[in-house]
């Protein structure tokens, strides 16, 4: 199975690529958004700023929207999840709009949220099968879906409850970093890979 990590030029992807690797899986890093959708699974990684990421995504945004609408499996991590929404308070630019709603700043005294937090009210099978309860965050912004039926896990930072994960069809977004969430986080990624294979 070919896994493609879209590289918007904003950080070290080594830990994510390592976490995704495994028997029968080839992981490829692709900076061209149009070429990135020629794959079995697209990964939108979790490092960088919204505006610069959507600028890199823009030349292939329509192709990516079509591919996801046609059933291309995708997982978006942290910023990658935010790119699946309409727009962000972090800066200008249009997201993919897979999930209707904005990205907003965390409403908390301690920002960014960096470190471990709990996921609750989980209905996402890949998280449940992996036994993932504690997850690693590094974020100042969170997604605010207009339809909360897409939310498959929640977290709370101070008093701000936000979507930890969203899902529609074969598209999964997680606000946390599974590749930094110890063995259960890596298991969650491989549960999703196995689901795509199946």
CB 164 within 8 Å of CB 176: yes
Distance CA 166, CA 40 (A): 20
pLDDT-derived band at 19, boundaries 50, 70, 90: very high
Q: Which residues are catalytic?
A: 78, 177, 179
Sign, CA dihedral 126-136-143-96, equals negative
| Alpha carbons within 13 A on the beta-carbon side of 6 | 33
pLDDT tens for each residue of 46-92: 888 999 999 999 999 999 999 999 999 999 999 999 999 999 999 99
Task: Tell how strand 113-118 and strand 151-157 pair up.
Answer: unpaired
Query: Which ranges constitute the DSSP H helices of the chain?
Result: 14-20, 33-36, 50-57, 61-69, 79-82, 125-130, 182-197
Distance CA 83, CA 55 (A): 11
Domains identified in the chain and CATH numbers: 2-197 (3.40.50.880)
Instruction: Tell me, yes or no, if the pTM score tops 0.75.
Output: yes
Q: What does DSSP assign to residue 150?
A: G
Which is more confidently placed, 48 or 189? 189
Q: Which residues contact 183 (CB under 8 A, 6 or more apart)?
A: none
Residue 143 scores a pLDDT above 90: yes
CA 165 to chain centre: 8
pLDDT-derived band at 10, boundaries 50, 70, 90: confident
pLDDT tens for each residue of 113-139: 999 999 999 999 999 999 999 999 999
């Amino acid at each position: 199975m070919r896994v493609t990590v879209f590289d918007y030029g904003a950080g070290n992807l080594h830990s994510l690529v390592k976490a995704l690797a495994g028997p029968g899986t080839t992981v490829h890093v692709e900076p061209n958004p149009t070429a990135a959708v020629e794959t079995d699974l697209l990964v939108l990684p979790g490092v960088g700023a919204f505006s610069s990421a959507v600028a890199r995504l823009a030349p292939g945004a329509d192709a990516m929207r079509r591919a996801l609408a046609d059933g291309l499996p995708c997982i978006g991590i942290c910023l990658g999840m935010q790119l699946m929404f309409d727009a962000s308070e972090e800066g200008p630019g249009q997201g993919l709009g897979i999930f209707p709603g904005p990205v907003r700043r965390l409403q908390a005294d301690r920002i960014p949220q960096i470190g471990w937090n709990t996921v609750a009210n989980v209905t996402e099978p890949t998280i449940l099968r992996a036994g993932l309860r504690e997850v690693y965050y590094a974020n100042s912004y969170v997604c605010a879906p207009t339809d909360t039926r897409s939310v498959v896990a929640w977290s709370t930072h101070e008093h701000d409850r936000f979507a930890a994960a969203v899902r529609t069809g074969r598209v999964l977004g997680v606000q946390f970093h599974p590749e930094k969430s110890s063995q259960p986080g890596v298991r969650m990624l491989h549960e999703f890979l196995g689901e795509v294979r199946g």
